[in-house]
Amino acid sequence: MQKDTLVFDLIRKELDRQRNGIELIASENFTSLQVMQAMGTVPTNKYAEGYPGKRYYGGCEVVDEIENIAIDRLKKIFNASWANVQPHSGASANAAVFLAVMKPGEKFLGLDLSMGGHLTHGSPANFSGKTYQALHYGVTKEGIVDYDQLEAKARAEKPKMIICGASAYSRDWDYKRIRAVADEVGAIVFADIAHPAGLIASGLLNDPFDHCHIVSSTTHKTLRGPRGGIITLRHDFENPWGIKDPKGNLRTMSQLLDLAVFPGSQGGPLEHVIAAKAVAFGEILSEDFKAYGKQVIANAQAMAAAFNKRGYQLISNGTDNHLMLIDLRNKNLTGKKAQETLDKAHITLNKNAVPFDDKSPFVTSGIRVGVPAITTRGLKEPHMETVVHLIDRVLMNADDEKEVAAVKGEVSAFMQQFPLYPELG
């Protein structure tokens, strides 16, 4: 068969783009070569609907072993008693959690998307907001989760589920406080830790498993695995709604979640991606990964200080994790303009609404900046000063094409010190 040069040339072009740029999208990372290699392998050919030992197809004995390794390693990472590694994405994982816990029309409470939350936490444009009754809490004017508001809404509305977790929030979470009000009103606490999961895995942030009934994540952000999702429980428990299996036994939450993933919302699992998840989970269990997590936080702190020094306004004045949200209004720039201009200099990040934003989500007043990917490339604290200097030069000269082009050249030269996949030639 002739090689599809059209597509493979573009894949090569994407490798060059990744190599030459400064990647600051807070939800992105670079997997190890072996994680990527595991993904491009023969389990992609295999149908394996069901779970290890209980499949609907023959010939699953090898993928059963692969999936069991992924499950066992994931349980070890989070000291969990149960894990499902089949969700194709974080959104699919969250869809399965909703399916297991909620009936259409029932109420849940989540962080507002415009305040840093996620689409699947009740956006009107998403299944979560269309199928269920979404209620929201926000952040205070200082940019910290408004726990008083969360508690008041929970008491007034008695939601069936409370979601904690965000995609643009730079502070740690008070899971204990959320669980206390949930117990008071009889709600399930569901933590979506897609963003900080790698830092939680390394013991560097509060542990949601101590207080949350259900935890989901993506695997490709700070966990540094392939694109995908997971659901985990530290403690399994009988469902409080009296749902029984055909033998009349109360179903456990893990059984409801397994059923919600397959056959509830997905068909055949992506066993090649599960193989890559298994490899990534093995890496997370190593000492190297703990060092990575510490470096992510050190880099984020150094970057926040470098932005502060130049008069940028960080929401909540700083960060506890891997990202920061910056309000650009005092710099007379929109998030859109900043993203588009930085793109021209090969500095990649995303425009982001800031809390109480007066601009549309297509324009926004802010940018979200994250360090997981550049930390994987080997940048350390002193390099954060250089990165912020380059960003500042672009933003302060946003209409000066020559200056932006000059920075693009410097970005590419600077990143040559940090080789990305040198084995790929």
Q: What letter would DSSP give residue 251?
A: P
| Beta pairing, strands 347-348 & 161-164 | unpaired
The beta-strand segments (E) located in 337-421 are: 347-348, 350-352, 366-370
- Asked whether 375 and 326 are in contact (CB, 8 A), the reply is no
Taking the C-alpha atoms of residue 337 and residue 49, their distance in angstroms, rounded to an integer, is 46
- Count interface residues toward ligand DSN (CB under 6 A): 5
Measured from the CB atom, the residue of 227 and 359 that comes closer to ligand DSN is 227
Shortest spacing between CB 43 and ligand DSN, in angstroms: 25
- Asked whether 128 and 112 are in contact (CB, 8 A), the reply is no
Helix (H, G, I), strand (E, B) or coil at 195: coil
The greatest distance separating any two alpha carbons of the chain, rounded to the nearest whole angstrom, comes to 73
Measured from the CB atom, the residue of 27 and 265 that comes closer to ligand DSN is 27
Cα within 13 Å of Cα(113), Cβ side: 15
What residue type is assigned to position 9 of the chain?
A: D
| Using rule CB under 6 A, residue 128 touches ligand DSN | no
Question: Alpha helices, DSSP H only, in 310-370?
Answer: 335-344
Shortest spacing between CB 373 and ligand DSN, in angstroms: 12
DSSP string, 55-94: ESSSS-HHHHHHHHHHHHHHHHHHT-SEEE---SSHHHHH
Taking the C-alpha atoms of residue 318 and residue 117, their distance in angstroms, rounded to an integer, is 18
Measured from the CB atom, the residue of 73 and 118 that comes closer to ligand DSN is 118
User: For the chain, how far is it from start to end, CA to CA, in angstroms?
Assistant: 24
Taking the C-alpha atoms of residue 274 and residue 63, their distance in angstroms, rounded to an integer, is 9
- Among residue numbers 10 through 39, which ones bind ligand DSN (CB under 6 A)? 27
Shortest spacing between CB 362 and ligand DSN, in angstroms: 16
Out of 43, 50, 87, 90, point to the residue binding ligand DSN (CB under 6 A). 90
- Asked whether 29 and 373 are in contact (CB, 8 A), the reply is yes
Shortest spacing between CB 218 and ligand DSN, in angstroms: 7
| Using rule CB under 6 A, residue 94 touches ligand DSN | no
Active site (catalytic) residues: 47, 49, 192, 218, 221, 227
Shortest spacing between CB 206 and ligand DSN, in angstroms: 20
Structure tokens at 54: 């209980």
Measured from the CB atom, the residue of 167 and 299 that comes closer to ligand DSN is 167
Measured from the CB atom, the residue of 113 and 407 that comes closer to ligand DSN is 113
Shortest spacing between CB 372 and ligand DSN, in angstroms: 11
- Among residue numbers 192 through 231, which ones bind ligand DSN (CB under 6 A)? 194
Measured from the CB atom, the residue of 182 and 300 that comes closer to ligand DSN is 300
| Using rule CB under 6 A, residue 167 touches ligand DSN | yes
Taking the C-alpha atoms of residue 340 and residue 373, their distance in angstroms, rounded to an integer, is 20
Residues within the interface to ligand DSN (CB under 6 A): 27, 90, 118, 167, 194
